[in-house]
Chains A and B, each alone.
Chain A
Amino acid sequence: MLRVENIETAYGPVRALAGVSFEVDQGKITAVLGANGAGKTSLLRTLSGLVRPRSGRVVLEDQVISGMPVERIVRLGMAQVPEGRGVIAELSVEENLRLGGLWRKDGSREDLDRMYELFPPLAERRGKPANTLSGGERQMLAVGRALMARPRLLLLDEPSLGLAPRVAAQIMALLRRLRDETGLTVLLVEQNAKSALSVADHGIVLNLGRIVAQDAPDRLAADEKLRHAYLGF
């Protein structure tokens, strides 16, 4: 589905990614793990087109997307839930949701109703400004908004950050459900390795801009040295 080939991303002289390569399989949840500063957010910003890699390529279903403008990449079926949940505080819940599917010519009322079905708390607050939502509800809104684009690949940046463990678990369960029911492909970037590995099909561990391990989740979790050094549990 998505192939990342040896990308290197830098902000001025600071190198954030030093040659990262991996693949995201169709219909699977891939988790990218690592501590603060490991390069997780830089990786997502590079994939979504907000930052251009200095070298290397990103290929989405046989189409090279590195170097394309963000808005075009979105239209190719890759949606992103930005870090810090990124709901637009001044807009209402419904406006936030509609925004996600606005570029689609065939966007419809049904998409909106589907999201309210998926996230009942949002339906109750559809007219309210997004800044009146709780942290968990905001995360739901951010996910729902990305789903409005009917993506084939969904990127999530630290969805469990700042959420109560129970709420974070709900979000992870939702991702699993979306994968099982709709065949959605997910790339999940998380600092909370335990929670991410609980739903992932494949795990990638990033440290200082390099991949230090990639394997099945249970094998990563079983590696004590790796767990202590990079995963923090």
Chain B
Amino acid sequence: MSRFIDLTLNGIANGAIYAAVALSLVLIWRATRILNFAQAGMLMFTTFIAWAVIDSGASYWVGFAVALVSGLALGAIVERIVIRPVEGAPPLNAVVVTLGLLILIEAIAGMIWGGNPKSFPPAFSIKGYHVGNHTLLFSPFDLFTVLVVLGMMVLVAVLFTRTSLGLRMRAAAFEPEVARLLGVRVAQMFTVGWALAAVAASLAGVLIAPAVFVAPNNFDAVLVFGFTAAVLGGLESPQGALVGGMIIGLALSYVAGYISGQLVTLGALAILVAVLMIRPEGLFAMHQARRV
């Protein structure tokens, strides 16, 4: 029983990170109908920047803030320069562009920081809480991870449903042409969407970095899990990203704990295939609403 509780807690902590990655993919998919495969590279790059800041002697929290701010900037820049030309083009163009960008960013990071994995400090202790004489598989840093991701989810939900910027972003995502006719600067909304997405991804990057170490290719797996979570959640709703992330986090934690740690990636693939076969529109899709 205590094993089950451990695996559950561990799954929730990892699930929060996958949810953040899923959110970053969802925000971009909603806005521009593009799957951003470069997200793994973008979050790696901002995590590397944060690492460099902390390594130079600044406090962890300065590095944390730098990761988020550089994510904001990187997201906007990438959308403006690389993505804008393929918006509205056949989907394959965007796939090729984001994959190319992934390779490019990973190569640039390798040229700057080399291929040796760097250790990244956690915000809080990663020693599990004690309950009696049992040490839980859940640490203060895990708690921080869950809370900060939930906090971000709430902020995004408030932004979308309670602010006029959020209303404009939703209109631009659902009906870009109608939105333009109503005076919404749709291109600007897309840039904001990409920037926000990159912030969510950067957050995931600094949260997972203590576990995976920072190196050019070390975040690719996180993208796969985040992608699976996003598809599971329906690719369109932030709530879907959260629930999808949690389901993937828990499922993979049980797979690793009860079967084998080596089957984790395979487990994610199995879930992805199962979702696509049984409910390809995901758990929280809005397609019914759109078929009018």
> Cβ of B286 and Cβ of A90 under 8 Å apart?
yes
> Can you name 13 A-B residue pairings with CB atoms under 8 Å?
A71-B186, A74-B181, A74-B182, A82-B177, A86-B178, A90-B290, A99-B167, A99-B171, A99-B182, A103-B184, A129-B289, A131-B292, A146-B182
Those of B175-200 within 8 Å (CB) of chain A = 175, 177-186
Q: Which residues of A contact B181 (CB under 8 A)?
A: 48, 50, 70, 74, 79-80, 82, 86
B170 part of interface (Cβ distance < 8 Å): yes
How far apart are B110's CB and chain A's nearest CB, in angstroms? 40
Q: Is there a chain B Cβ closer than 8 Å to A145's Cβ? A: yes
- Quote the shortest CB–CB distance from A27 to chain B (angstroms): 23
Minimum distance in angstroms from A99 CB to a CB of chain B: 5
Q: Within residues 56 to 94 of chain A, which ones have a CB less than 8 A from any CB in chain B?
A: 70-71, 74-75, 79-80, 82, 86, 88-91
Q: How large is the interface on B (under 10, 10 to 19, 20 to 34, 35 or more residues)?
A: 20 to 34
Q: A-B pairs with the 7 shortest C-beta distances?
A: A103-B183, A74-B183, A70-B180, A86-B178, A80-B181, A131-B292, A88-B175
The chain B residue sitting closest to A142, CB to CB, is B178
Q: Is the CB of A88 within 8 A of B178?
A: yes
| A102-B168 in contact given A89-B292, A90-B289, A149-B182 (Cβ < 8 Å) | yes
Q: Which residues of B contact A88 (CB under 8 A)?
A: 170-171, 174-175, 178-179
Q: Kindly state the separation between the CA atoms of A88 and B174 in the bound complex, as whole angstroms.
A: 7
Contacts of B168 in A (CB 8 A): 99, 102
**What chain B residues lie within 8 Å of A91 (beta carbons)?**
167, 170-171, 174
Chain A residues positioned under 8 Å from B116 (CB to CB): none
Known: A89-B290, A91-B171, A99-B167. A50 touches B184 (CB 8 A): no
Q: Does A201 belong to the interface (CB within 8 Å)?
A: no
For the complex, is A111 an interface residue (Cβ under 8 Å from B)? no
CA of A95 to CA of B184 in the docked complex: distance in angstroms? 13
Q: How far is the CB of A226 from chain B (nearest CB, A)?
A: 32
Which B-chain residue is minimally distant from A48 (CB atoms)? B181
Contact (Cβ within 8 A) B180 A90: no
A-B contact count (CB 8 A): 71
> Which A residues are in CB contact (< 8 Å) with B170?
88, 90-91, 95
* Segment 240-292 of B: residues with Cβ below 8 Å from A: 286, 289-290, 292
- In the complex, whether B133 has a CB less than 8 A from a CB of chain A is no
- A103 to B185, alpha carbons, bound, how many Å? 9
Q: Which positions 63-82 of chain B face chain A at CB distance < 8 Å?
A: none
Q: Residue B167 contacts which of A75, A95, A145 (CB distance < 8 angstroms)?
A: A95
> Closest approach, in angstroms, between the C-beta of A74 and any C-beta of chain B?
4
Question: Is B56 at the interface (CB under 8 A from chain A)?
Answer: no
Docked pose: A151 CA to B95 CA in angstroms: 41
A100 at interface by CB-CB < 8 Å? yes
**B292→A102 contact, CB < 8 A:** no
- CB contacts (< 8 Å) of A129 on chain B: these are 289
B59 interfacial by beta-carbon distance below 8 Å: no
Contact B179 A99 (CB under 8 A): yes
Q: When chains A and B are docked, how far (Å) is the Cα of A98 from the Cα of B179?
A: 12
Q: Does B164 count as interface, using CB distance less than 8 angstroms? A: yes
Q: What is the chain B residue whose CB lies nearest that of A72?
A: B183
User: Shortest Cβ distance from B106 into chain A, in angstroms?
Assistant: 36
Asked whether, in the complex, the Cβ of B184 is within 8 Å of the Cβ of A82, the reply is no
Contact A71 B174 (CB under 8 A): no
Cα distance A173–B258 in the bound complex, in angstroms: 71
**Contact check: which of B184, B289, B292 meets A99 at CB < 8 Å?**
B184
Distance in Å: Cβ of B161 to nearest Cβ of chain A: 9
- In the complex, which residues of chain B have a beta carbon less than 8 angstroms from the beta carbon of A145? 182
Shortest distance from the beta carbon of A233 to any chain B beta carbon, whole Å: 30
How far, in Å, is B117 (CB) from chain A's closest CB? 44
Q: Is the CB of B183 within 8 A of A102?
A: yes
State the CA gap A48–B182 with chains docked (Å): 11
A205: min CB distance to chain B, Å: 25
Chain A: CB-nearest residue to B165 = A102
In the assembled complex, how far is the CB of residue A31 from the closest CB belonging to chain B, in whole angstroms? 20
Interface residues of B in 142-174 (CB under 8 A from A): 164, 167-168, 170-171, 174
Using A99-B171, A103-B184 as known contacts, list a sample of 18 further A-B pairs with CB atoms less than 8 Å apart, ordered by residue number in A: A50-B177, A71-B185, A74-B181, A74-B183, A82-B177, A82-B178, A82-B181, A86-B178, A88-B175, A88-B179, A90-B174, A91-B170, A91-B171, A99-B182, A100-B183, A102-B167, A103-B182, A103-B183
